Amino acid sequence: MSFENKEITIAHSPDSDDAFMFYALAKDKIDTKGLKVNQVLKDIQSLNQDAINGKYEVSAISFAAYPLVCDKYALMPCGASMGFKYGPMVIAKPGVKKEDLKNLTVAIPGKLTTAFLTMNMWMPGLKTVEVHFDQIPEAVRDGKVDAGLIIHEGQLTYQTMGLEKIVDLGEWWFEETGLPLPLGGNVVRKDLGADLIDHATKLLKGSIEFSLANRKDALEYALEFARDMPPELADKFVGMYVNEMTVDYGDEGRAAISRLFAEAHKRGVIKEQVKVEFVGALSGAAL
Q: Give the active site residues.
A: 152
Beta pairing class for 89-92 and 147-150? antiparallel
Which residues are within 8 A (CB) of 200 and not within 5 positions of it... i.e. 6 or more apart? 8, 10, 35, 57, 58, 76, 188, 192
Between the alpha carbon of residue 37 and those of residues 46, 68, 199, the distances in Å are: 20, 25, 12
Cβ density class 194-216: b for 16+ within 10 Å, e for less: eebbebbbebbbbbbbbbbeebe
Q: Is residue 81 a contact partner of residue 103, using CB atoms and an 8 Å limit?
A: no
